[in-house]
Amino acid sequence: MMNRKLAALGLALAATVALGLSTSEASAQCGRASWYALHSRTASGERMNPSAMTAAHRSLPFGTKVRVTNSRNGRSVIVRINDRGPFVKGRFLDLSRGAAQQLGFISSGHTAVCMAKV
């Protein structure tokens, strides 16, 4: 368990360095993420596109772009926050199906990720 947390922290730090940001600017956050694929309106008012690179976060402003890195396999994508959620205890990010597919966790439904503002 401790090794996974250290690996996740290492991936977040690596993403921060790769983006040329200081650790305070990156405001990296690690935790659990899930995915969803609806066609309804998002909290920002746009229609949900399951194949778009978008995500739901409880408090980040709409339009914020973040790099999300799957802590299990190192894959990363940049997504735009356009919705609110998730509303499941223990999760801090809900990704579109398209983003989850690129990150490689469609079959499991959720995974450990680290997120940093771009």
Q: Determine how many CB atoms are found less than 10 A away from the CB of residue 49.
A: 16
Q: What integer is the mean pLDDT of 105-109? A: 96
User: For residue 67, which of 16, 5, 2 has the smallest C-alpha distance?
Assistant: 16
What is residue 19's predicted lDDT score, i.e. its pLDDT? 43
pLDDT exceeds cutoff 90 at 34: yes
Instruction: Read off the pLDDT band of 28 (50, 70, 90).
Output: confident
CATH assignment, 2-117: 2.40.40.10
What the block records as the tokens of 71 is 């802590």
pLDDT exceeds cutoff 70 at 89: yes
Average pLDDT along the chain: 85
Is residue 96 within 8 A of residue 51, CB to CB? The reply is yes
Q: Determine how many CB atoms are found less than 10 A away from the CB of residue 13.
A: 15
What is residue 4's predicted lDDT score, i.e. its pLDDT? 52
**Domain extent listing, the chain:** 2-117
Give, in order, the Cα–Cα distances in Å from 30 to each of 4, 41, 68, 73, 113. Answer: 11, 27, 9, 14, 6
